[in-house]
Structure 1
């Protein structure tokens, strides 16, 4: 059994990040007889200056990228279809909002030390994309954290702790300096970068080649 370290740089309001992860999950399932993966998530804020009440998602995409309503509708249809393919439910709607994710990343960084980061990451993707929750709302974050077995009082403390906010910002800066300026970014064994939500077949091929070549080294 070959052990593989996989680091995923992502944001919980990035639809391609959850699609990319689900494709990776399928790849690792296919390789489960030969590869054992250790996965760690890392923060990347798509909108670090976003206010706490967020912004209408369609308006945000129009302002940031010049996305037309027609292109937005087409993109949502594509994402919904791709989500169905990998077993994830997107529920886009006209009033959907984009939110600041700093608090979410603070929790995720802390949850790693509690052995709950993986579960919380997937729970937050579900809360935002499938349930339409405000991913910046402290009460919602506490509820999600409790659902994966984390202590509510400690969670509240982490959310309000400026040192955790600074730790997230520092980590994000390190990834930017390493050349990561878009997500998802998947790094295998700390040195092989796979950018974007690549296909399951490509991921199977890449992981197989990397694990075999490094075993020979």
Structure 2
């Protein structure tokens, strides 16, 4: 089974949704047979790197709300994140363009470290106030999950994996994805948003059952020795 996930590293619901999926997989008996691939989605492709800017001010300006409303929304998100063990330090958030972070995730994929890189970037932005649009920061975060510093820096400086990011974004448009997180199971089932863990559990069970239907084996001459609610036959 394969799960393709479109998300951004500055998307709070993407982090919460990741935890919900992971919780569902902990209860899924076939979790070892599940492959997860992360795909790029930029919530704001035109975002600038403004480490000194206020997240609340940016949200208020973008969505036409007061700073009080923006603050309240972040406090609600932090409470929701805490419920799944995440620490959202939104007051420390550094406004960042995420294109290079997505390129780094693709580099990590080529090295078998994609999920670790995704997790590290999410934690860096939401819990540690790291500027995830800064090259030096990205290189350091990459080394922390086992990627060679020179390899990470060369990829970022050279523009490597830019086409991979654009390809992901084109596929998102083809699917009609306009918001993230968005989960696609076996290219058949779509789940939009950070749905409750139970929704992921149901989707995993349904997708697995349909992909692995039960085949009845009845040897020639075998009797139908079975019981049902009305009794037993011999």
How high is the TM-score relative to the length of structure 1?
Answer: 0.92
Counterpart in 2 of 1:103?
Answer: 100
Contact 2:94–2:125 under 8 Å retained in 1: no
Q: 1:151 aligns with which of 144, 148, 151?
A: 148
Larger Rg: 2
Counterpart in 1 of 2:80?
Answer: 82
Q: 1:25 aligns with which of 13, 19, 22?
A: 22
Residue 166 of structure 1 deviates from its aligned partner by 3.3
Counterpart in 1 of 2:45?
Answer: 48
**Could you tell me how far apart the structure 2 residues matched to 1:22 and 1:159 are?**
28
Counterpart in 2 of 1:16?
Answer: 13
How high is the TM-score relative to the length of structure 2?
Answer: 0.85
Q: Which moved further from structure 2: 159-168 or 146-155?
A: 159-168
Q: Deviations over 1:19-72 (max 9, x none)?
A: 0010000000011x2443211100001111112336432222122222322322
User: For this pair of structures, how many residues does the alignment match?
Assistant: 212
Q: Deviations over 1:124-172 (max 9, x none)?
A: 0000000001001111111110011001111011112234223312321
**Could you tell me how far apart the structure 1 residues matched to 2:177 and 2:5 are?**
11
Q: 1:132 aligns with which of 129, 132, 136?
A: 129
Gap regions ≥5 residues in structure 1: none
Matched, 1:38 2:26: no
Matched, 1:117 2:114: yes
**Could you tell me how far apart the structure 2 residues matched to 1:176 and 1:63 are?**
26
**Could you tell me how far apart the structure 2 residues matched to 1:214 and 1:79 are?**
36
Gap regions ≥5 residues in structure 2: 215-234
Compute the RMSD of aligned alpha carbons: 1.6
Structure having greater relative contact order (Cα 8 Å, sep ≥ 6): 1
Write out aligned runs for 1:202-217 (5 A): 202-216=199-213
Q: 1:185 aligns with which of 163, 182, 185?
A: 182
**Could you tell me how far apart the structure 2 residues matched to 1:48 and 1:40 are?**
21
Q: Which moved further from structure 2: 41-50 or 76-85?
A: 76-85
